[in-house]
Amino acid sequence: MASTNRVPHVVIIGGGFGGVAAARAFKRQRVKVTLVDRNVYKTFQPLLYQVATAGLNPGDVTMFLRGLRLGQRNLRFRHAEMQTIHPQENRVEFADGTSLGYDFLIVTTGVTTNYMGVPGAEQHSMAMYTRTQAMAIRDHIFSGLEQMARRNGRLQCNVVVVGGGATGVEVAGALADLARGELRAVYPELEDDAFNIMIVQRGDEVLKPFSEKLRAFSAKALTDRGVQLRFGAGVETVTETGVTLTDGTEIRSDLTVWAAGVTAPEHVKNWNLPQGQGGRILVTGTQQVEGHANIFAAGDICGTAKDALPQLAQVAIQGGRHAAAQVLKLIAGDTELEPFAYHDKGIMATIGRRAAVAELPNGIMLKGTIGWLAWLAVHVMTLIGHRNRRAVFMNLFSLYVGMKGTHQSNPIVGEVSLPAHKRARLHDQD
Ligand SMILES: Cc1cc2nc3c(=O)[nH]c(=O)nc-3n(C[C@H](O)[C@H](O)[C@H](O)COP(=O)(O)OP(=O)(O)OC[C@H]3O[C@@H](n4cnc5c(N)ncnc54)[C@H](O)[C@@H]3O)c2cc1C
C-alpha cells in the first residue's frame, strides 16, 4: 500500500461518537474518507433526555454530518444504511441497492434498545435512543398534559421509568423538575402533583456503577423531588395501560419509558462478521475485527472476547481515534499495531436542577451543584460539537442554575434569547 500512488479509501460506517472521531483523525492525511450514516445528522445521546422533557430542542443535540466537510477536504459523506459487508470483495452493500468498495473499513454503528424479550415492551413503552424517539416522548407528555388541562387538572399523569441507570434517573429527575418548575406557570389548570413518577429497578439501588455514597445521594435527590423508587422486582409485561412486575404488582402507567439497557441490533448477524456477547462484533486488542486485517470496529458495537468496555461516549471516541491511527500505520507499511488502552475519564449522571453525581478515576467524587457543573463542562464543552455549544450551555445553565422556578429558560415557553440570525445554524435539522 505504501509504495503505490493510489490514495487509499477508508469507509467509516456510522457517524456517531466513534465514527466522527475516526473521521477527524484522518484530517490532512493522504487518504480518501467516506463517512456513511443512515441519518444526515449525528445524535448527542447523553442529552436526549433533555429533548424528551423539553429542556432542549432536537437541533441542539444533533450535528449535521456534512458540516464536517467544511473543515476536512478529504472527507465525503454518504447518506445510506449499510445492509451487509462482503469482506472477500472489500465492499459494503447498502439498503438502497448500491455498494461501495473500500481498502479499510471502520464499523462504528452503535447499539439499540434492549427490550429483553419482555412481552409488550416494544409495542407499549417508549425508548429514548434516537432523536425521533425523544420527540415522541415529548409529544406524548404534552398532549397528555393538554388532556389533563381540559379536565381541569383532575387527572394525574402516571409515568413509569423502567431502569434505574443513568438514562432512567436523568429522565425521571428532569420530569420531576419540570413539574415543580415551569409547568406551574404554563399549566395553571393542573394541580402541583401533575406527574406521578416511578422508577422500577430489578436490583435494590439506582446508578449501580457509582460508589455507595453517590448512589445514596442520588436516591435521596430523586425522592426529594417526589420520584418513587420501586426496587426488587423487574417488569414482566407492559400493556397500553400499565406494567406488571415480576412479583405480580400491577402499576397503572400513562407513559412507560424503557431505559433498561442496550444490545446489538439483530441485523448485525447479516454483516458476515464474528459476534460475541450481546451480539457485539468481536475485535482483537488492536480494534481489528477478528479474522479481518483491514476491518476495524469501535464504540458500543464491539468488544473483545475477554472483556467488553463500558458503552460510553469516551470509549467510542478514543476507540474511533485508535482505529484510525492503526489504519494509518498499515497504510504506512507498519504492521506492528498497538493495542487499544482506554483512558477512563470517570462517570457522571444528572438527577436534576443543581444535582448531579460524578466519580473520577482518581477517587474524587462530586455531587450537587459542583457535580452538575462538572457534568455540564464535560458534556457541553468536550462532547457536543462547537456549533451547538453556546445555545446548549446557555439553555442548560439558565434552566438548572440561573433561574430556579421561573419559566424564562425552557423551550416549552421560550428559549434563551439569542438573536435570530445566530440561531439559524447549519446543523439545525428541525
Ligand atoms: C439516552 C442515552 C444516554 C446516554 N448518556 C451517556 C452519558 O451520559 N455519558 C456517556 O458517556 N455515554 C452515554 N450514553 C452512551 C453513548 O451515547 C454511547 O456510548 C455512544 O453514543 C456510542 O458511540 P458509537 O459511535 O459507538 O455509536 P453511536 O453514537 O450510537 O453512533 C452510531 C451511528 O451509526 C449509525 N448507524 C447505525 N447503524 C447503521 C447502518 N446500518 N448504516 C449506517 N449507519 C448506521 C447511527 O445512525 C448512528 O449515527 C448514552 C446513551 C443513551 C442512549
Q: Give the whole-angstrom CA distance, residue 207 versus residue 228.
A: 15
Q: Phi and psi of 428, rounded to 5°?
A: -75, 110
Nearest CA to ligand 1 atom 29: 16
By most ligand atoms within 8 Å of CB, the mutation choice from 82, 109, 170, 269 for ligand 1 is: 109
pLDDT of res. 405: 41
Kindly give the distance from the C-alpha atom of residue 17 to the centroid of ligand 1, in angstroms, as a whole number.
7
Q: Which amino acid is at 308?
A: A
Compute the average pLDDT of residues 213-240: 96
Q: What is the pLDDT of residue 166?
A: 94
Among residues 294, 296, 301, 299, the alpha carbon closest in space to that of 284 is found at 296
Ligand 1 midpoint to CA 109 (Å): 7
Q: Kindly state if the Cβ of 108 falls inside 6 Å of ligand 1.
A: yes
> Which residue, by CA, sits nearest to atom 35 of ligand 1?
14
DSSP 213-267: HHHHHHHHHHHHTT-EEEES--EEEEETTEEEETTS-EEE-SEEEE-S-EE--GG
Does the pLDDT value for residue 192 go beyond 90?
Answer: no
Residue 189 backbone phi and psi in degrees, to 5: -70, -20
Nearest CA to ligand 1 atom 4: 46
Residues 305-356 have pLDDT tens digits of 987 899 999 999 999 999 999 999 999 999 999 999 999 989 999 998 889 9
Residue 155 Cα, ligand 1 centroid: separation in angstroms? 36
Closest atom, ligand 1, to C-alpha of 383? 11
State pLDDT tens for residues 290-307.
999 999 999 999 999 987
For residue 104, what pLDDT band results from cuts at 50, 70 and 90?
very high
CB distance 51 to ligand 1 below 6 Å: no
Residue 336 known to be catalytic: no
For residue 424, give Cα distances in angstroms to 68, 104, 390, 415, 421.
18, 37, 13, 14, 5
Q: Report the nearest-CA residue for atom 51 of ligand 1.
A: 45
Instruction: Say which residue, 353 or 36, is predicted with more confidence.
Output: 36
What pLDDT is recorded for position 416? 33
Per-residue pLDDT tens for 282-291? 999 999 999 9
Helix (H) or strand (E) holding 99: strand 99-101
Confidence of residue 427 (pLDDT cuts 50, 70, 90): very low
**Tell me, what amino acid is at 51?**
V
pLDDT over 60 at 27, yes or no: yes
> What is the spatial distance between Cα 183 and Cα 197, in angstroms, rounded to a whole number?
15
Mean pLDDT, to the nearest integer, of 83-89?
Answer: 98
* The three grid cell numbers given for residue 420, joined into one nine-digit string: 435570530
pLDDT per position as a tens digit, 244-281: 999 999 999 999 999 999 999 999 999 999 999 999 99
In ligand 1, which atom is closest to the CA atom of 83? Answer: 41
The answer to whether the beta carbons of residues 1 and 330 sit under 8 Å apart is yes
> 265: Cβ–Cβ under 8 A, 6 or more apart, which residues?
109, 111, 112, 279
Q: Is 59 in the pocket of ligand 1 (CB under 6 A)?
A: no
Exactly one of 81, 93, 146, 170 is catalytic; name it.
170
* pLDDT higher than threshold 70 for residue 361: yes
| Helix, strand, or coil (residue 321) | helix
Residue closest to 145 by CA, chosen among 117, 105, 186? 186
Tell which wins on pLDDT, 118 or 144: 118
Looking at the CA of residue 81, tell me the nearest atom of ligand 1. Answer: 42
Pairing of strands 104-107, 99-101: unpaired
> Do residues 61 and 55 make contact, with C-beta atoms less than 8 angstroms apart?
no
- Residue 46 CA to ligand 1 center (angstroms) comes to 9
Smallest CA separation from ligand 1 atom 41, residue: 82
Q: Is ligand 1 within 6 A of the CB of residue 39?
A: yes
331/8 Cα distance (integer angstroms): 8
